[in-house]
Amino acid sequence: MPTSPIIHDVMLRDGLQQESQTVPTEQKLAWLTRLGGSGVDIIQVGSFVHPKKVPQMADTDALCQLVRERPETLGGALLSGLVLNDRGLDRALAADVDLVCLGVSASETHSRKNTGMTVAEATERIVAMAARAVSAGKRVQASVQSAFGCGFEGAIAPRAVLAIVERYAAAGVGHISLADTAGHATPEDVTRLYGEAQRIAPDVEWACHLHDTYGLGVVNAYAALASGVTVFECATAGLGGCPFTKVAGGNLCTEDWVHLLQRLGQRLDLKLEPLLTLARDMTQTLGRELPGKVHLAGPIATAPPGRSVNPGGLEVTP
């Protein structure tokens, strides 16, 4: 499995899904082009959900078509999309996304609010959908939402998360994400839960989806990196939040995370400036200051002289 951190930007989906201001399709395409120009690895174009439930995602199919007509917009990145049900999966397959993302919440309350189903019902449906997507030749990433806590229920028992991980692994899902939907995780929580999950499914490529609701997004991402996580779902400018959780907080900020990685000597191939320019453009379009830090403060020079990163990617030594 790859050891270099993979950047999966979800701004166009998780970032925009609860915005009251509708962002036009052409504006989204321009933002996607900036993302492609930065060299990020995966771009999530949107979610294939009913437009009445999430109006910002009403143009997901049309945006996918525009991207396929103008492949240079991706800059080599994979195109991903989120699906919640079989109809959404049909649309994702028709749109020819490269990576199908789906998931189950470990919180009964969040699951019912998000999908109208119990955790058990949702797990059965998602596992069957994952199998169908794999049989269609698609890469699949399955997530466990509210893995580190729930705004409605509080702490979530690790065994509830691990039971879903076991179902995914048994179904042959090779890419699994643990999502901190409510932003409750601490670095110790991240280290512990990934350690337990990896013992259950040692051959899986692990991803994380972290929210910065309580200011811990970057430190939790650092802990995930140390725990062997290779895929990081984040959003430019730190935009976002689940509309079906109690307190919606922004995502791990793409440019802030890339900035840290580059200061550690990793992912120097990524272009930070297009991300910073995009974050500033988003600020103007949405008419408010967004959560990211580096687009406001400006970057620090990467890889300071005399510092190096070990093969594990974390210990910075003189």
How many domains would you assign to the chain?
1
Is 83 inside any structural domain? yes
∠ CA 270-276-281, nearest 5°, is 135
Q: Residue 102 maps to which CATH number?
A: 3.20.20.70
Average pLDDT, the chain: 91
Is 183 inside any structural domain? yes
Distances in Å between the Cα of 63 and the Cα atoms of 38, 74, 104, 236 are 19, 12, 26, 18
Tokens standing for residue 22: 């509708």
User: For the whole model, what pTM was predicted?
Assistant: 0.92
**Is residue 248 over pLDDT 60?**
no
Is 71 inside any structural domain? yes
Of 227, 198, 209, the closest CA to residue 13 belongs to 209
Domain carrying residue 221: 6-317
Is 285 inside any structural domain? yes
Per residue in 65-96, pLDDT (tens digit) is 999 999 999 999 999 999 999 999 999 999 99
Of 256, 268, 280, 270, the closest CA to residue 37 belongs to 270
Is 52 inside any structural domain? yes
User: Active-site residues: which are they?
Assistant: 242
Task: Categorize the per-residue pLDDT at 114 as very low, low, confident or very high, splitting at 50, 70 and 90.
Answer: confident
Predicted confidence at residue 1, as pLDDT, reads 33
Task: Categorize the per-residue pLDDT at 179 as very low, low, confident or very high, splitting at 50, 70 and 90.
Answer: very high
Is 280 inside any structural domain? yes
Is 18 inside any structural domain? yes
Question: Long-range contacts for 37-40 (Cβ within 8 Å, ≥24 apart)?
Answer: 37/75, 37/271, 37/274, 38/75, 38/270, 38/271, 38/272, 38/274, 38/275, 38/278, 39/75, 39/76, 39/77, 39/269, 39/270, 39/271, 40/7, 40/8, 40/9, 40/77, 40/254, 40/270
**Is residue 308 over pLDDT 80?**
no
**Is residue 35 over pLDDT 70?**
yes
Is 260 inside any structural domain? yes
